[in-house]
Each structure stands twice: as C-alpha cells, then as structure tokens.
C-alpha cells in the first residue's frame, strides 16, 4: 500500500512523467492517503495486535534498560571527571534507586500476569530471575564506582 502511495504521489507531482499537475488527480491522491492510513490502522490494530500485557512488559523492559543506561552514563561521567567530584556517590545512589524502582514495577507486573500472557517458552520464574540478575549487575557497577568516587580505590586498580 505504501509503495502505491509513493508511486501515485510521484505521478501526481510529475516526477515520473513530466506532466503538469491537474486538480482532477488531487481528490484521488487524498483518497489514496486516507485508504492507506485506514489499511495500516486495521492491520496494526486488528490483524497483528499484540496482547496488552506483552506490550506492557516490553515497555517496562525498555524503561529498565533506559534506567540502566542512565546509570552507566552517570558512572562514566563521574569517573571521567576524577575523584574530586563529591556528587558522584549521591548521583549513583539516585540512579540506582531509579533502576531498583523500575525493576520493582516490572516485578509487580509479573505477579499480576497470568502464565498464559507471558512470552512463549519463558515462564514467570525465568523472567523474574533475569530481572533480578539485571538489577544485581547494575548494583555490581555502582559499588566499585562509589569506591573509586570516594577515593578508597585507585583509578588504576580498575583498569
């Protein structure tokens, strides 16, 4: 459908054949755009629809990934600025709190979901285990970084 819309638009505006634009083609162009949008809507909403719990799980997983990336960015910026940055431990604790909060929300959603709504081949226990591993990995980044930030661990010991 999209290819047809592009082809019709190119013909209408004279890119494929050097003809002048006629206003008689304009309603057909608008009708084609509306039909294409409606077809896309019907396909996405009725034919290829994801169950709402799966969409929620995917969205929450992306939120957790964003929180972990923000934690890593704060960690990188703090370590690049050196040991003189006294705000690093506070910023890391705040970011780790946000990661823990996102993991807690996902864990609550796991508790509410039935086993039939989860991803194919992976049960609730496996997803909870992976969530816990991700949270522990994020904490594993925070503890050495706070030691480096406070000056109790030398920068060269981390390399």
Domain boundaries, the chain: 2-47, 52-158
128 near 110, Cβ under 8 Å? yes
Work out the average pLDDT over 43-51.
81
* N-to-C CA span, the chain: 54
Would the CA dihedral through 105, 106, 110, 112 be positive or negative? positive
Q: What are the pLDDT digits (tens) for 89-122? A: 788 888 888 888 888 888 888 777 766 556 666 6
Work out the average pLDDT over 53-78.
84
Q: What are the pLDDT digits (tens) for 123-143? A: 777 777 888 888 888 888 777
99 near 64, Cβ under 8 Å? yes
142 by DSSP, 3-state: which? helix
98 near 70, Cβ under 8 Å? yes
Alpha carbon 16 to chain centroid, angstroms: 39
Give the helix ranges, DSSP H, for the chain: 2-12, 26-42, 52-81, 88-112, 124-150
Domain 52-158 maps to which CATH number in 2.70.98, 1.20.1740, 1.10.132, 1.10.3470?
A: 1.10.132
């Amino acid at each position: 459908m999209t290819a047809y819309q592009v082809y019709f638009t190119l013909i209408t505006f004279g890119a494929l054949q050097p003809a002048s634009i006629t206003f008689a083609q304009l309603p057909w162009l608008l009708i084609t755009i509306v039909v294409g949008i409606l077809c896309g809507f019907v396909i996405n909403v009725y034919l290829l629809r994801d169950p709402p719990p799966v969409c929620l799980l995917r969205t929450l997983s992306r939120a957790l990934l964003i929180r972990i990336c923000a934690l890593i960015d704060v960690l990188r910026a703090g370590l690049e600025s050196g040991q003189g940055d006294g705000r690093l431990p506070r910023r890391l604790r705040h970011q780790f709190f946000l990661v823990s909060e996102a993991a807690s929300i996902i864990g609550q959603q796991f508790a509410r979901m039935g086993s039939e709504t989860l991803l194919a081949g992976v049960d609730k226990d496996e997803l909870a285990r992976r969530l816990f591993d991700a949270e522990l990995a994020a904490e594993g980044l925070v503890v050495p970084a706070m030691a480096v930030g406070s000056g109790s661990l030398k920068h060269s010991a981390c390399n």
